[in-house]
Amino acid sequence: MSDTKTENTPKATKKEWIGLAVIALPCLLYAMDLTVLYLAAPQLSADLNPTPSQQLWIMDIYGFLVAGFLVIMGNLGDRIGRRKLLLYGAAAFGVASVLAAFSPSSEILILTRAILGITAATLAPSTLSLIRNMFLDPEERTFAIGIWGMSFSLGGAIGPLVGGVLLEYFWWGSVFLMSVPVMIVLLIVGPKLLPEFKDPNAGKMDIPSAILSLVSVLSIIYGLKQIAENGWGTIPILTILAGLAVGAVFIKRQTTLRDPMIDLELFKLPAFTAAVVGNTMTIFVGLGAFLFISQYLQLVLGLSPLEAGLWTLPGALGNIIGSLTIHMIVRIMRPLYVMLSGLVLLAIGMYLYTLINTENGIWMIIAGSLIMSFGICAVVILGTDIIVGSAPPERAGAAASISETAAEFGGVLGIAVLGSIGVAIFKSRINSIELPGLTPEQWESSHNTLASAVSVAKELPEPSRQILLSTAQGAFTDSLHFVSFLGVGISIALAFVIFFILKNKKEPEAATETPELEKAAR
Determine how many CB atoms are found less than 10 A away from the CB of residue 46: 9
Residue 67 predicted with pLDDT over 90: no
Could you tell me which residue, 31 or 251, shows the higher pLDDT?
251
What pLDDT, on a 0 to 100 scale, did the predictor assign at position 334? 82
Q: Is the bond into 463 cis (omega within 30 degrees of 0)?
A: yes
Q: Looking at residue 60, what is its pLDDT?
A: 73
What is the pLDDT, as a whole number, of residue 27?
79
Who wins on pLDDT, 238 or 126?
238
| pLDDT at position 510 over 50 | no
More confident residue, 396 or 196: 196
Single-letter amino acid code for the residue at 234: T
Residue 376: name the closest of 414, 425, 331, 402 by CA: 414
Give CA 250 to chain center in angstroms: 24
For residue 506, the model assigns a pLDDT of: 45
CA-to-CA dists, residue 47 to 40, 196, 346, angstroms: 11, 44, 42
Q: What is the pLDDT of residue 507?
A: 38
What is the pLDDT averaged over residues 3-12?
57
Mean pLDDT of all residues in 242-270: 82
- pTM across the whole model: 0.76
Q: Average pLDDT, stretch 83-98?
A: 88
Is the model's pLDDT at 481 over the cut of 80?
yes
- pLDDT-derived band of residue 522, with 50, 70 and 90 as boundaries? very low
Q: What is the percentage of the chain residues whose pLDDT exceeds 70?
A: 84
Instruction: Report the pLDDT value the prediction gives residue 435, as an integer from 0 to 100.
Output: 64
In which band, very low, low, confident or very high, does the pLDDT at 351 lie, cut at 50, 70 and 90?
A: very high
Are 137 and 11 in contact by the 8 Å Cβ rule? The answer is yes
**Is a pLDDT exceeding 90 seen at residue 488?**
yes
| pLDDT at residue 22 tops 50 | yes
- Helices vs. strands in the chain: H and E counts, helices first: 21, 0
Which of 173 and 481 is assigned the larger pLDDT?
A: 481
Q: In the structure, what pLDDT confidence band is assigned to residue 406 with cuts at 50, 70 and 90?
A: confident
Q: pLDDT category, 514, cuts 50, 70, 90? A: very low
> Per this entry, what is the length of the chain?
522
141-173: per-residue pLDDT in tens?
888 888 887 887 777 777 767 777 777 778 788
Nearest to 155 by CA among 124, 188, 189, 128: 124
Mark out the alpha helices in 432-463 (DSSP H runs). Answer: 440-446, 450-457
Nearest to 186 by CA among 18, 428, 305: 18
Q: Assess whether pLDDT exceeds 60 at residue 385.
A: yes
Residue 393 pLDDT level (bands cut at 50, 70, 90): low
Confidence of residue 82 (pLDDT cuts 50, 70, 90): confident
DSSP 391: S
The residue type at 457 = A
pLDDT-derived band of residue 131, with 50, 70 and 90 as boundaries? Answer: confident
Angle between helices 361-390 and 123-134 (to 10 degrees): 60
Q: At 49, phi and psi to the nearest 5? A: 50, 55
Q: How would you classify residue 346: left for phi > 0, otherwise alpha for psi between -120 and 50, otherwise beta?
A: alpha
